[in-house]
């Protein structure tokens, strides 16, 4: 029997970066990553819209990694730049598909994107796998991670024709818990940050689609419960915010996943309450759960000041290199807070 590589060292935040909020904010704002050179393509969507897709590396016979960004993210987000640069270093081809309206141009339709958009994930991944001529590896970060897991659970065994392994970083698996969490206490800072770009983009749609939603409710929204009820839910076919949060959450889909999948979630993530993270009994045998005590929301900065995202990229590509179930037919590992 071939020897399996040793388990990766668990993530521990550096001493100079204490607390979930600081770990979150520093990684997003104060630790910029220089993006690699991208080649941009514009793809038409099945419903007559378009998205922007950024490629890096040689699109030849080597491995391909696809990254789905988080809320209001892009190929220039620090985590995306770090993963794409790590792909180049390893000789992989990297792809960042932008959700609608996130590539620098407003999309054409009244809809945009949302946390449970498995249909969008499906056609994008199938097109990339077709272009690559083989299944690909996929990373989803935050919102992108939840949507990717939603697709994995829906497709079940069929997903193996498209992806060989998947990783989700800090996905909000239960939106009914994460949504309200972002509307309380210090977390309101994050809500205001995201709404600062979401609201103008949404209100601009009224010029093309007058009367589609209540502009005053959107303009006055100071939390995601209000914004999602006023725009996200009705624009994407949900009855209201609670219907959206319930149906878009990926946690109920985790037992149906049938490809090797890593779910990396920090237990001090301000966006995702630790008590709603899944336990091994709530996921399939193909899912690896890693829940380090620290890391914040998509933080995982490591090393001496000013730090790098090397631990995160090493963990992701290490899993892609060795993401198959271990002895006994299970790939589930669980790290509790220490």
pLDDT in tens, 200-233: 999 999 989 999 999 999 999 999 999 999 999 9
- Compute the average pLDDT of residues 64-73: 98
In this structure, are strands 136-141 and 64-68 parallel, antiparallel, or unpaired? parallel
- What is the rounded average pLDDT of the residues 126-146? 97
Domains assigned to the chain: 1-174+252-338 (3.40.50.1820), 176-248 (no CATH)
pLDDT at 336 over 70: no
pTM: predicted TM-score of the whole model, two decimal places = 0.93
pLDDT for 132 equals: 94
Mean pLDDT throughout 35-54? 97
Q: Can you tell me the mean pLDDT for 175-185?
A: 96
The arithmetic mean of pLDDT across residues 311-319, rounded, is: 97
Q: What percent of the chain has pLDDT over 70?
A: 93
Q: Does residue 329 have a pLDDT over 50?
A: no
Catalytic residue numbers read 142, 269, 297
Average of per-residue pLDDT values in the chain: 92
What confidence tier does 276 reach under pLDDT thresholds 50, 70, 90? very high
Mean pLDDT (whole number) for 179-187 = 95
pLDDT, average across residues 61-66: 94
Q: Is the separation of the CB atoms in 192 and 186 below 8 Å?
A: no
Residue 202's φ and ψ, nearest 5 degrees, are: -70, -45
Instruction: Give pLDDT, residue 60.
Output: 83
pLDDT digits (tens, 9 = 90+) for 262-273: 999 999 999 999
Q: Is 211 left (phi over 0), alpha (psi -120 to 50) or beta?
A: left
How far is 286 from 255, CA to CA, in rounded Å? 9
pLDDT tens by residue, 99-120: 999 999 999 999 999 999 999 9
């Amino acid at each position: 029997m071939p020897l399996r590589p040793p388990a990766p060292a668990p993530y521990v935040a550096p001493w100079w970066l204490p607390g979930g909020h600081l770990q979150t904010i520093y990684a997003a704002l104060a630790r910029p990553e220089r993006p690699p050179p991208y080649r941009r393509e514009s793809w038409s969507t099945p419903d007559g819209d378009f998205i922007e897709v950024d490629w890096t590396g040689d699109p030849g016979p080597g491995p391909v990694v696809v990254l789905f960004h988080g809320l209001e993210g892009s190929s220039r987000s620090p985590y995306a730049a770090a993963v794409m640069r790590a792909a180049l270093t390893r000789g992989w081809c990297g792809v960042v598909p932008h959700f609608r309206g996130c590539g620098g141009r407003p999309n054409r339709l009244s809809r945009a994107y949302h946390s449970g958009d498995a249909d969008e994930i499906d056609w994008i991944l199938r097109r990339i796998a077709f272009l690559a001529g083989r299944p690909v590896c996929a990373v989803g970060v935050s919102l992108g991670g939840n949507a990717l897991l939603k697709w994995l659970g829906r497709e079940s065994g069929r997903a193996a024709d498209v992806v060989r392994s998947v990783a989700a970083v800090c996905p909000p698996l239960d939106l009914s818990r994460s949504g309200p969490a972002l509307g309380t206490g210090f977390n309101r800072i994050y809500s205001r940050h995201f709404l600062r770009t979401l609201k103008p983009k949404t209100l601009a749609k009224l010029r093309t689609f007058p009367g589609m939603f209540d502009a005053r409710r959107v303009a006055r929204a100071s939390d995601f419960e209000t914004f999602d009820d006023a725009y996200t839910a009705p624009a994407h076919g949900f009855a209201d915010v609670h219907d959206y949060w319930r149906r878009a959450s990926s946690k109920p889909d985790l037992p149906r996943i049938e490809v090797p999948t890593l779910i990396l979630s920090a237990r001090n993530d301000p966006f995702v309450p630790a008590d709603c993270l899944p336990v091994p009994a709530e996921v399939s045998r193909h899912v690896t759960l890693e829940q380090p005590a620290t890391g914040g929301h998509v933080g995982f900065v490591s090393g001496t000041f000013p730090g790098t995202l090397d631990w995160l990229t090493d963990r992701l590509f290490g899993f892609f290199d060795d993401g198959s179930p271990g002895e006994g037919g299970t790939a589930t590992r669980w790290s509790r807070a220490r």
